[in-house]
Amino acid sequence: MKRRYSIASESSVIVYFGTTIDPAISQEVQKAYHALKAKDQEGFYEIIPSYASLMVSYDVMRLSFDDVCEIIEKSIEGEKALILSESKIITIPVYYGREVGLDLELLAQEKNLSVEEIIVLHVNEIYTVYAIGFAPGFAYLGEIDARLATSRLASPRKVVPKGSVAIADRQSAVYPSQSPGGWKVLGRTPTAMFDATYEGLSLLHVGDRVRYESISKEEFLKLGGQL
Amino acid sequence: MNGFLVENGGMQCSIQDAGRRGLSDIGLTQSGAMDEMAFGYANFLVGNAFNTPSIEIAMGGASFKARSEMCIAICGANMQPTCNGHKIALWQTYPLRRGDVIAFGFASEGQFAYIAVAGGFQTPFSYGSYSTSIKEGLGGVEGRKLKAGDFLQTLDARCPVDRRKLERKFIPKYPDSITVRLVKGYQEAMFDASSQETFFNSVYTFRGEGDRMGYRFSGEKVVPLASGILSEPICYGAVQVPSHGEPIVLLKERQTIGGYPKIGSVIAVDCFKLAQLKVGGNVKFKEVSLKEAQRATRAFYTFFKEQEA
């Protein structure tokens, strides 16, 4: 699909690279995002990537809609040759204990799998960060094994504990802070997803590659995990 | 220490500047003053730069005590402010003496009022802004609304020598019925001719379903051709229509991405007016060209830039 530029508002342009969740489309978005971040264009206030689109909010005092489209298009073309380096894999330790894996049993029944099989399927995948949103540092990771694909809870929890590792549809995510939520919770990580001391504030950024690692209760507690 | 003591936090008071920039890609909301016009005038009247942190008062009911001499201006919704029990005027500089108590009733028109102080409130700079994001617990005073006992430090700054008062012709009104301008975009193609006709020709009512994140309006239903889209970035003023068919205008503390179809976006300067709409107020959406929308935005920010020069 050819890139399609559209007005989002009088000061925002949205570029569509496709309309589906697809690793190849996501790669195009990531390339454009990194090229634009690196360019550090004056008057670009926000560069927000998502699954198949990217939005730029700009200063209308300095730039027109056409200027912005041209700058984005040129940056993308200029980076065409760029092959996203096989970025290092970020490992997120997870304690898959039943006291924190609030929906493990439910999912095991639903999928006709053992809890152990669920954990293996969840840690055996290397995920890509497709988008960040919902809350600061909340990263949408894709895709989980098709055998784990699941719907959201019929009634969302009012409180999902901080660090909860959860799945919904073909995606996985870690809740960076305590919040309401309807994803099915498999475990908990002691790693902070969002922290003022991190460079870039968020542990994960769009395009990063991630894997989960199963840890014991003792390791979880030693790493500062809270039950 | 120079400063302002919160005696009563009212419904919801928070420290706000024009908002956060450049962090939406990691999920941080923009936040900032819901009405940048009243916010901008308040800062102008005390001689501050446009983007200086002020107190945003939502709905009213708050009171503050000056712990030192200072110069303030109150702009926006009329919450019948008093100083030591005596009525004081909005839209002008007002010197305070140590011990003065400024109290607010509830808004008779508009929703948000701003208190600017000469030199600005000295709260911590957090994630590129002074703004509070209440939903995320970031910025301002511990990421929350103000409460009794909070102390907001100020500088030893005096009123501008010319004791400013905003000319009547510049003072905005907050009527119960407004028309806001919108540029079409995003998934406009998912709204067929008849739903667009409905959308642009109906009157929508604000029934109080909303907060700093966005306002939902009731009225004639507009049904998009699909109930959801692949999640994508959301800009200020975006008008999304979930399957219930009622438009939601996303404002300062909106989520950064979302999956509902959007017909376009209300232009920034009209979002400021929309934010001031009271419960029961009506809105009509009017389509404008991108050119016209940008002209309006440029005029707004040029005005405040010139005041700083």
Domain locations in chain A as residue ranges = 4-78, 89-222
For A62, name the nearest residue in chain B, comparing CA atoms only. Answer: B298
The structural domain count of chain B equals 2
Q: Report CA-CA distances (Å) from A202 to A103, A178, B67.
A: 26, 16, 39
Q: Please tell me whether residues B127 and B248 are part of one structural domain.
A: no
Last residue of a domain, one of B170, B200, B216: B170
Q: Please tell me whether residues B209 and B124 are part of one structural domain.
A: no
Going by pLDDT thresholds of 50, 70 and 90, the confidence category of residue B64 is very high
pLDDT over 80 at A86, yes or no = no
Gap from A124 CA to chain B (nearest CA, Å)? 26
Last residue of a domain, one of B170, B205, B240: B170
In whole angstroms, what is the distance from residue A90 CA to residue A112 CA?
A: 30
Q: Please tell me whether residues B164 and B291 are part of one structural domain.
A: no
* Contact (CB<8Å) A9/B27: no
- Residue B255 token pair: 């989520």
Gap from B204 CA to chain A (nearest CA, Å)? 21
- DSSP characters over A137-205: T-EEEE---GGG-BPPPSS-EEEE-TTEEEEEBTEEEE-SSSEEE-SEEEEE--S-SB-TTSTTSBS--
Q: Please tell me whether residues B124 and B73 are part of one structural domain.
A: yes
Last residue of a domain, one of B170, B189, B224: B170
A179, A164 in Cβ contact below 8 A?
A: no
Domain A89-222 listed as CATH 2.40.100.10 = yes
pLDDT at B307: 83
Q: Please tell me whether residues B184 and B157 are part of one structural domain.
A: no
Give the model confidence (pLDDT) of A10-38 as tens digits. 999 999 999 999 989 999 999 999 999 99
pLDDT at B243: 87
Interface with chain B: mutation pick from A5, A10, A203, highest number of B CBs within 10 Å: A10
- Residue B275 token pair: 């934010």
Stretch among A106-115, B64-73, B149-158, B287-296 having the lowest mean pLDDT: B149-158
Domain around B71: 3-170
H-run or E-run covering A24:
helix A23-39
Q: Please tell me whether residues B157 and B188 are part of one structural domain.
A: no
Q: Which letter does DSSP use for residue B156 in this model? A: S
Give the model confidence (pLDDT) of B165-190 as tens digits. 999 999 999 999 999 999 999 999 99
DSSP-based helix, strand, coil % in chain B, nearest 5: 20, 35, 50
Q: Please tell me whether residues B17 and B160 are part of one structural domain.
A: yes
| CATH architecture for the domain at A4-78 | 2-Layer Sandwich (3.30)
* Contact (CB<8Å) A46/B21: yes
Ranges assigned E (strand) in chain B: 3-9, 12-16, 54-58, 62-66, 70-78, 82-83, 86-87, 93-96, 101-103, 109-117, 151-153, 177-184, 204-211, 214-218, 232-233, 238-240, 248-250, 257-258, 262-266, 282-287
Q: Please tell me whether residues B261 and B301 are part of one structural domain.
A: yes
The partner residue sitting opposite A134, judged by closest CB among B183, B255, B290, is B255
